[in-house]
Amino acid sequence: MASNLDQAREQVRATGARVTGARVKVLAVLLQADEALTHTEVQRRLEQGDAHELLDRVTLYRVLEWLVEAGLSHRVSGPDRVWRFSAHGDDAPAGGGHAHGAQHGHFKCRRCERMFCMKSSSRLARTVRGMLPDGFDGDAVELTVVGRCAECAAAEAGAPHDEALRAAPEAAALAVADGR
């Protein structure tokens, strides 16, 4: 996790804001995770990590909010409607404080229920805007693909009934939100 800590420190410093241990450690947890994490999952990983960092819920929530405001992470609502936080999903490396992650979709694994960021694409946003009715003005595209993540797909491979399960993601939900 050392390199994640270095990367996190660098990214927090690049915003010009104060570099605090809490900001760096929480961002490092997000950078290390493959999937988007809930508040509770971040807290658990902090407690299990080398740092043994104990942050109270309010402090952790403030740090996560700050990371979103600073453009170092973003949040996505999960199947349970609980916010999940991720520092991934952008093609460009984060750290310049640039807008992060609005134009990428998310993948929801039906088996383990984790949410993953997909690659960002300006073409995706343009395409979806082209599908809007006349006069509608969409600011952000929220795209969710449902299926099985690589880990779950591998776990299910070889099972006798896996022909149907191996099918490509079979449901996609699209929502064009405004005012974000």
**Chain residues that interact with Zn ion, rule: CB under 5 A:** 86, 89, 109, 111-112, 117, 149, 152
Least distance between Zn ion and beta carbon 128 (Å)? 16
Toward Zn ion, which CB reaches closer, 53 or 95? Answer: 95
Least distance between Zn ion and beta carbon 10 (Å)? 21
Q: Fill in the DSSP letter of residue 152.
A: H
Least distance between Zn ion and beta carbon 101 (Å)? 5
Q: Taking Cα atoms as reference points, which of 36, 105, 90 lies closest to residue 64?
A: 36
CA distance to 49, 79, 81, 162, per residue, from 110 (Å): 28, 9, 15, 15
Toward Zn ion, which CB reaches closer, 26 or 53? Answer: 26
Toward Zn ion, which CB reaches closer, 54 or 167? Answer: 167
> Which residue is associated with the tokens 């979103």?
68
Q: Decide: 86 and 73 in contact? Cβ < 8 Å.
A: yes
**d(C-alpha 78, C-alpha 107), whole Å:** 10
Tokens of residue 161, six digits: 């009934």
Least distance between Zn ion and beta carbon 100 (Å)? 9
Toward Zn ion, which CB reaches closer, 45 or 53? Answer: 45
Least distance between Zn ion and beta carbon 50 (Å)? 26
Toward Zn ion, which CB reaches closer, 53 or 103? Answer: 103
**d(C-alpha 62, C-alpha 41), whole Å:** 15
Q: Fill in the DSSP letter of residue 34.
A: S
